[in-house]
Structure 1
Amino acid sequence: MNLETLQQVIATSNKIALGTALDSQADVKIVNFVWFPESPETLFFSSVKDSAALTTYAQQPDVAFISVPSDGAVGNPYIRAQHVQLVRSDKTMADLLPRYLETVPNYQKVWDLIGPKLVVFELKPKTLYVDPGLGQEKGTLHF
């Protein structure tokens, strides 16, 4: 598996299903994410700073995620990782806004509504399963 394949798969999605568990209560949220080819081991997402999710993230930062292919993505490509440590990022939404606007359709509306309330988190999987779609070679990247 190589970074070019990862980049192709990530280009088919701008959302992940983020799975958490706290006190034996599983939960999953769909969140927009951004990714930069120069930092292939990191996905960034944001959450509203006064949401209950922040308590879960702080108390149980061990998460799993899977990307959600965009409508029209051929072959159901996705990336997936388990036992990923979720950490608060040093980056701000102002740092990431250009990338969000570039890769997430209609993100300007989100920014206009809640931009100042968003805080940034990072996901840095040690291993990332990459499935480029039906009939293509699947594999795992190690960071």
Structure 2
Amino acid sequence: MVGDQVLGQETTTGRLSYQPIVAVFHNPPSQTLRIDLGDESIVATGIHRFWKAGRGWTMARELKPGDTVRTLAGLSTVRSVESDQVQPVFNLQVAEGRTFFVGRTGTLVHDNSLIEAVTDPFDAAPELESVVRKD
């Protein structure tokens, strides 16, 4: 997987770009949460960060029904957050931007690097024409 590219989004401009994966982290089994977004569920640890509209990076354990998270198509509403099983967990680190989309609907999450505060977030749906590929 290192060297593969993932689609991410710059959180102040909304610019989309493909970024190479620079590291994959295999972590021991941990308690996970199942976040139901209606069209799909995403399984993550409680400390994995999702982009919550109007707030920015938010740990999965802090998400609540009714919250909206950024997706490739715009926003998706959290329907429920339930405890799931203990299982091995993985995380990625990308070269630039520190974000990537996960799942079929493309939910924006943060990689395994330090979180930087975003004072002026871009919460509009991205323009697909603005995707930049790094080869």
What TM-score comes out, normalization by structure 1 length?
0.29
Higher strand share: 2
Larger radius of gyration: 1
Higher helix share: 1
TM-score, normalised to structure 2, is: 0.30
